[in-house]
Structure 1
């Protein structure tokens, strides 16, 4: 269980809150690049870490992320005119560039210097992997964008979606910490209904041995299942600061091709946006791998959601899948986390051995929050090119003998230039 003060500490994301200030030290997803694909196109509302913002792409193709409300008298800039390298308020014509500079105040006398005295809230943006990443922290402490291997792949090697989660970001992130639920929640009773990964391995042992190891980027999570008397099924996933799960969804065969990133970005205390980033190292994404398009509407709300009970089919639940909610893991995960309520009171839970990695991640997050609050640079805030070698942020799936120490095996794999080419053998 987590005492209520600590529960509050890890779920309150607004400016001035300890976790909110920690989150603001990192580049985080703000929206998909496709949402503002057109230069001088329509602005888009963005709610991020409890702040109401508006994103737009200017005449040069650069992305801006501004406070939604005009610095003059508060009219929403969502309704503004995006033209000539700036976003203009429709009320009195104040115009802002992507850096928050006030370019024009046409309702003021020509001699007015008011525009030089006002600076509108604006946040830095970078684009990579089909995502607009934004930094909401102190301008004198802007870190480098992490050099994850998938950030620089060709667009057709990536499949990126997002969906609204009607719960705190932490509930979603904790779902990434829990490898044991793969054997339960995502069960299917026919080959046709199976999802990704290695369902036979998950079924062989529903109570894996779990361990969480603190690293310079987050927590490396090791799961060991007894596949048979001579085989341990090893699965290594990661919680990466500030809000990402790096998950080896491809299983033994697919992990060499790439893994999946689930980013649980706080919208506010009670809502989050789950970004799903699938990548393939050496080939384009296949059409059949784009499974989320059938599950997410144009408003980024899931077609199966809490309000319609995830369209649960009790006949399917008896005959086909454990949940009766289809085969897409996103839906299963959402039901498990959203049905807890907007912010689950963790002082009421009863944890067991299967929650070992969840506990490890909570402990690590609390350490990071407290370190940042005391003025220390949080882990994985990358300030130098040397810190940006991230090859050790690795997802591994392998079969190993029972006598093999899993941590030693992982350490040996990470010494290789391309750990994924032999880890599954």
Structure 2
């Protein structure tokens, strides 16, 4: 096409990219080959020029040339390639997606004439590969560290669910143990249903052209917007209400635990009700401020990744105490306190020393002291071990004092 001019070429690893100019705007293309010869595939790119300007697909953002992606390159239904799949139910959707081919976009970065370029090139991926674990955490041919990273995440997600404050607080809001068990089962079932729903939301966004390559956190709202502004407004309102409700509940639970359990009961500070209320307010302000600070520092990270870290902290600090109090008679208060302290300190510390956080600091992830992104496989067992050791030691010491 004579309207396009080749303005440059760059490489990133084994891939070659070509810059084409048209009507004064330049955009990057992925150079590939098929049986007919070389092929240029359009990419999405963000160019940060040395002068400070930022171009989206070679143009200012106001030109709106940067678009959403996500579609099927081949739709297969009952073993035959078709134009439209027709109506699907939750199970047939997964089956047909597995048989089809999905175009997903992979990010790469390179420099061109002093400009920093972030680019996303299309890759045709079989639906079977999409549905199989390993796109984020490689399993086939994975190294030991990669497998441990995946196992650590699974441990955190499975064990952390039972230790979330959303579950624990239900033990304090019911009149009887029977109601507590029933409330907990309902909560876990609701959370499990939500997890399944998020899978469908992600896959739906992947094949309906509503993925924002800059932020994977926007898949849900953008998918809702594709159905109309009304649903988008409702989903946005529900999201804000859920966030506010969850945060307020956690702040109230945290302030109550600090004022009543920690200061009054554990530290044995004799406080009047008025002082407890004041301590709770101060604790609520401190916890809220700390949460806001963490949110600002971790802005831009994938929410699902942060959820895995939160579950790891919950499983490391809360789960050992819950399990051992229920099933081990030798558990002591000091053992519980020690396990909570070790669990939360170790899990948070290992997160701060992980490769993902080192990249966040602007450092080389390969130099991170802790090679895993999720600390669960280390912090959870050590928290259990701490509780057992401290409980045995303090119980033995108490028994010795009684004998004397």
TM-score w.r.t. the length of structure 1 is 0.23
Say which one has the larger Rg.
Answer: 2
Structure 2-normalised TM-score?
0.24
Structure with bigger RCO (C-alpha 8 Å, 6+ apart)? 1
Greater fraction of residues in strand: 1
Structure with bigger helix share is 2
